[in-house]
Amino acid sequence: DKRLSDLSVFSPNLVVSQAIHKAFVEVNEEGTEAAAATGFGIALTSFSHRPRPIPFHCDRPFLYIIVDRETTSLLFMGSYK
């Protein structure tokens, strides 16, 4: 939608034609690391505190969702295979 992707404030007739986003979440015994990259910038987040590990064993694929509790915004969604 050209109306929603209008960037003419930077250059005449400039619009967003494509956006690419990739994210990953790694959870292991040492903690959690998450990163995201888009065509518009890069944001990296790393959690350095080490909460007490909770044993978690999985023997089948599942989906997971990470949500911001304050805003209820969806931050990450993925699958474990």
If you average pLDDT over every residue of the chain, what do you get?
A: 70
Domain segments of the chain as ranges: 21-80
| Model confidence, pTM | 0.38
Instruction: Provide the phi-psi class of 41: left if phi over 0, else alpha when psi is between -120 and 50, else beta.
Output: left
What confidence category does residue 43 fall into, taking pLDDT thresholds of 50, 70 and 90? very low
Q: What is the pLDDT of residues 8-18, one digit of tens each?
A: 676 666 666 66
Q: What are phi and psi of 55, to 5 degrees?
A: -60, 130
79 has pLDDT over 70: yes
Tokens, residue 21: 């986003």
% of the chain beyond a pLDDT of 70: 53
